[in-house]
Structure 1
Amino acid sequence: MFISMMVTALMSFAVSSFLFYFFHPKAIQFGLVDKADHRKLHKGNIPVIGGPALYCTLVFVLYMNQQFTPEVLSFVLCGGFLMLLGMIDDKINLKVSLRLSLMIAITTFLYYFAEFQISSLGNLFSLGEVVLNSASLIFTIIVVIGVISAFNMVDGVDGLLGCLSLISFLALAVLFGVNGKLYLASTCICFIAALIPFLMCNLSMLPRNRYKVFMGDSGSFFIGFTVVCLLIAGSQESMHIDDAIVDPDSPTAFKPVTALWLIAVPVLDMIANIIRRVKDKKSPLHADRGHIHHLLQDMGLSDKQVLILLSAFAIFSASVGVIGGILHVPEVIMSSLLILLLAVYYYFYSHSDKFSGLIHRLFGHQLPTS
């Protein structure tokens, strides 16, 4: 199984590499590029092809492995629709209301036809399992849109979305693997392999900065959707994508609260921004330069330093989730620590000026002089 998994991952890497090479000139030709503005500080028009390349790679790998169960086919169809929605948004900037309506429709379809449901939050407070019952559909819609939006919002620094999603997929692969859900673990590894060529292009690792690309809304939508699908598949009993489990008494790979630890950085950033915008009497969906990566940039950190700092934070939070899941740490402890993390994060976010000196000392340079 391990050899088969590695062969599939190599195949995913090769296909992804070819597609980024193939789509790059096509995107420029058809005007599928990201143009610089007051929030985007890059130079020139950069192709936004992360979504098409990653989606086509994953579909190819699933096809080669002949893993098109009804649930997987539903994911492929809905993921493709979301990716196309993101491509259109990259091109013409769709209205937020239209994007939300289509995401609600997709989630509702999956809820009823693929058992894509969040029905339990686990034993969060040691008072018994929190079962959602009739609130399940509404909660599932909120979570799906929230996770997709969180990954979309965090895409503001070269490599950040790619690294954060890679960390989440790696943590998921570990949890799926130790619980015997090898098909889901293999899917995560294939996605990691497909992300590597993107990061090489996005971080300008190729000679002469060739084939610079961005993820775009198509990529962030598809990545967020894939992550939330895997989180639900791993934490809820309703989905039966991979039933080959080691422990027959544990039908899920991890507890629902563990899922939040695996995507802590984008989710905490989204929550902090929503709170700030509501306090400022702005729409929670209003785009601005108020995300954590923007705050760190305004402190004087370079994009590479922002990437290192937030990736380190993501590795820490994902590691807590993985260790807690493997050791079966009580859910009340994991949820209490998560609330504490949110409080600390929001305090840093709201009082970032107080931590500026500490951040600069961490990277070994002085505060910028005014």
Structure 2
Amino acid sequence: MEHLGINMFFWHNYVLIFLSFFICTILIALAPRAPRLAGQDDHTCAVQSMHVRRTARVGGLAIFLSIVVSIFFAPDAIAGPYAYLILASLILFLAGIFEDLGFGVSPRDRLIATAVASLAVMFFFELWLPRVEIPGLDRVMWHWAVGIPVTLLITAGVANAFNMVDGVNGLSSLSAMTAALTLAYIAQKSGYADIVPLAIMLASTVLGFFLLNYPFGLIFLGDGGAYVLGFILSWLGIFIIANAPDVSPWAIVLTMFWPIADMVLSIYRRSKRKKATTAPDRLHAHQMVMRTLEIHFLGRGRRGLANPLTTLILTPFVIVPALTSVLFWDQPRAAFSAVVFFSVVFVLSYTYARPIVRKLKRRVRLITIHS
């Protein structure tokens, strides 16, 4: 019977992969006949744009519909609570998908939608983030006046973080799959097995989209997909922290380190330039890597190659911190030290990688000339 249960579990995930893939395929096929599905002309001219042709940005629709279907595959004991989580995320999904379809939902309104969705989860579950392993703060996290604002800040931040890294083919979805799988492992190791099938089903759903997004970018994740993935992952992390006392919150941070690090750096960069934190720019790490590839290696006009190569180059930065979380899930000091270490590596790489590449290229040119 146990063997049959395992087979059924994997069969469910195959169904979700196929369903997400199938819906994405249908959306790609319909896009030329449906202007709003096909993407807007001004999307390719946006400050943060990383593509050169109109492309459907509604991959989040396939992911969300597949997530809804996954409710029927969830274990009976948690299917009801899981449905409440998905119901709350519907608020955020609608705000994001309306933006993807060109109806103009502002960043502020999407932020409000995230807050409302998180408040709905807290209402359904009577729960907020119980601890953050910051001296002094944990003592007052039990009080709603502290716990609720901190939870709102974190869940909104993570949801926005996955949207921020949704700039090159596969990067945000790769980050989501990695986070989901490592959260599943941590939940299993900590004895909170209820979350495991939900996290693995989420990873399977994203994989179906990923197969059509990377490397050619046939369909994009969009705000509706990126916000929902970040939101659900942030709450899965909170559920683990609340139900598994041995799990370090810093280990949960490591599972989704890359999006969080990029978001924090973006907020710092924009505040230093006295710009709104929601204002788009072209200075995200993935954008810097892609432009470096275009300018110094591939040549301008090779964005179709530079885009997927950027994700390939950044893959270790996504996966290694997450794998570290697996090692230090129950070791707060080690997990915190790992967060600090990877943060330093991230900042140094962002600051010095491009100047170093430029100098190396100049040296190669001089050597070539003299030889």
> 2:186 aligned with 1:185, yes or no?
no
Number of the residue aligned with 1:295? 288
> 2:77 aligned with 1:76, yes or no?
no
User: Paired residues, what number?
Assistant: 341
- When residues 116 and 52 of structure 1 are mapped into structure 2, their CA distance, relative to the original with a 3 A threshold, is farther
Number of the residue aligned with 1:195? 206
> 2:82 aligned with 1:89, yes or no?
no
- When residues 266 and 351 of structure 1 are mapped into structure 2, their CA distance, relative to the original with a 3 A threshold, is same
SS in 1 for 2:234: helix
Q: Trace 1:123-142 onto structure 2 (pairs within 5 A).
A: 124=134, 130-132=139-141, 133=143, 134-142=145-153
Between 137-146 and 194-203, the greater mean CA deviation after superposition: 194-203
The structure in which a higher percent of residues are helix is 2
1:168–1:263: 8 Å Cα contact kept in structure 2? yes
> 2:36 aligned with 1:36, yes or no?
no
Number of the residue aligned with 2:56? 47
**AA at the equivalent of 2:72:** Y
Q: Alignment partner for residue 7 of structure 1, among 2, 5, 11?
A: 11
The offset of 1:6, in angstroms, is 0.8
> 2:216 aligned with 1:216, yes or no?
no
> 2:288 aligned with 1:310, yes or no?
no
Number of the residue aligned with 1:247? none
- When residues 194 and 112 of structure 1 are mapped into structure 2, their CA distance, relative to the original with a 3 A threshold, is closer
> 2:275 aligned with 1:285, yes or no?
no
The offset of 1:224, in angstroms, is 0.7
Q: Alignment partner for residue 270 of structure 1, among 254, 260, 263?
A: 263
Between 217-226 and 344-353, the greater mean CA deviation after superposition: 344-353
1:24–1:49: 8 Å Cα contact kept in structure 2? no
Between 55-64 and 141-150, the greater mean CA deviation after superposition: 55-64
> 2:160 aligned with 1:152, yes or no?
no
1:13–1:196: 8 Å Cα contact kept in structure 2? yes
Residues 105-152 of structure 1: CA distance to partner in whole angstroms, max 9, x if unpaired? 221222233234112113x56x89554133000000000110001000
- When residues 336 and 180 of structure 1 are mapped into structure 2, their CA distance, relative to the original with a 3 A threshold, is closer
The offset of 1:69, in angstroms, is 4.5
**AA at the equivalent of 2:318:** A
- When residues 44 and 304 of structure 1 are mapped into structure 2, their CA distance, relative to the original with a 3 A threshold, is closer
Distance 2:359 2:199 in 1: 36
The offset of 1:283, in angstroms, is 1.1
- When residues 358 and 234 of structure 1 are mapped into structure 2, their CA distance, relative to the original with a 3 A threshold, is farther
Distance 1:359 1:197 in 2: 40
2:166–2:172: 8 Å Cα contact kept in structure 1? yes
SS in 2 for 1:351: helix
SS in 1 for 2:277: coil
> What TM-score, normalized to structure 2?
0.83
SS in 1 for 2:44: coil
Number of the residue aligned with 1:241? none
- When residues 278 and 178 of structure 1 are mapped into structure 2, their CA distance, relative to the original with a 3 A threshold, is same
2:167–2:286: 8 Å Cα contact kept in structure 1? yes
Residues 259-296 of structure 1: CA distance to partner in whole angstroms, max 9, x if unpaired? 11011101111111111111111111110101000111
The offset of 1:66, in angstroms, is 6.1
Q: Alignment partner for residue 56 of structure 1, among 65, 70, 77?
A: 65
Distance 2:260 2:179 in 1: 12
Structure 1: tracts of 5 or more residues without a match? 238-250
- When residues 182 and 336 of structure 1 are mapped into structure 2, their CA distance, relative to the original with a 3 A threshold, is closer
Q: Alignment partner for residue 226 of structure 1, among 232, 236, 239?
A: 232
The offset of 1:347, in angstroms, is 3.1
**AA at the equivalent of 1:154:** V
SS in 1 for 2:279: coil
Give the share of equivalent positions with the same residue, in percent: 21
SS in 2 for 1:300: helix
> 2:334 aligned with 1:341, yes or no?
no
> What TM-score, normalized to structure 1?
0.84
Between 23-32 and 89-98, the greater mean CA deviation after superposition: 23-32
Number of the residue aligned with 2:114? 103
The offset of 1:101, in angstroms, is 1.9
Residues 63-89 of structure 1: CA distance to partner in whole angstroms, max 9, x if unpaired? 244646543222111122211111111
